[in-house]
Every structure is written in C-alpha cells, then in structure tokens.
Structure 1
Amino acid sequence: MNTYVLAAVVFSVGLALAGCQTSQSRQAELATICADPNNRAPKSGYWSECQALYPSSDQALQKDYLLGAAVGN
C-alpha cells in the first residue's frame, strides 16, 4: 500500500512540474502574442498582459478611457 501512495505522490509532482512554465518561456510566448497589434488593443483578452511588454503612453490610455475601453486591472 505504501508503494502505491509513494508512486501516486511522485506521479502527481511530475505532472505539476510538467505543467509549469518558466518565466522565460512565458515572456517569449507573450512577446509572440503581443507582436500582433490586435492583441494589444484595449478590448483584447491579452491587453493587460501585453501592457507589461508594450506599455501605453499616458495619451493613449486617456484616449482609450474616453472611447470607453475597459481598464486593465
């Protein structure tokens, strides 16, 4: 019985580690996604994440606000 529990724990840890992304791979993936200007649009699902790589100027943020764009929180 202990062997099965140990095997299950090792298997679970292996699955968890396999699902993790390194920050470098995440940054590379975001750079690819955010290279498309449509993904950097305020109403895009990636807008808030792309702000970290391509921050909007104060003027662009004000324009987005005036146009009724969602605030990236």
Structure 2
Amino acid sequence: MNFSVVLLVVVIDYLKEASRETKIVPVRTFMGKGKASHRPLVSMFNASIFLNTCGRVGIPIVYFTFVSVYFGYTITNRKVT
C-alpha cells in the first residue's frame, strides 16, 4: 500500500513538471474595431489533478476493502481449541 502511494505521488509530480514545460502560446483574434484579444491555448484535461482526485478517493476505498476482507476472513476461519 505504501509503495502504491509513493508511486502515485511520483507520477503526479512528473505530470505536473511535464505540464509546466509546455508553453502557453497566445492566439490573436480580432474583435470589433481592430482590437486584439488574447486567449491562451489551455488543455481542458489535467491528468495530474485527475490522478490526485482518484488517489484521494480510490486509495482509502482499496485500503478499507482489504482490511475488511482480511479481518472478515481471519475471524470466520479461527480455530477454537
């Protein structure tokens, strides 16, 4: 479990660094009387935020499921002597 958390943190950090390296280039569009407005090209999907959210929800669910199954199995298969 600890390894998966560390691996997830490393992947999220890598994706954040990779997204910082890409430069945002302004796009010129002409509106009205020749005035230019700048709109940056931004990706709508941010993988690091998505993985962070999934990790915050998914890791506790997996951990709780593992603990529940483990203790349920050990309690039902106890041998009383």
Fold shared, TM-score > 0.5 on shorter chain: no
Higher relative contact order (CA closer than 8 Å, sequence separation 6+): 2
TM norm structure 1? 0.33
The structure with the greater share of residues assigned to helix is 1
The structure with the greater share of residues assigned to strand is 2
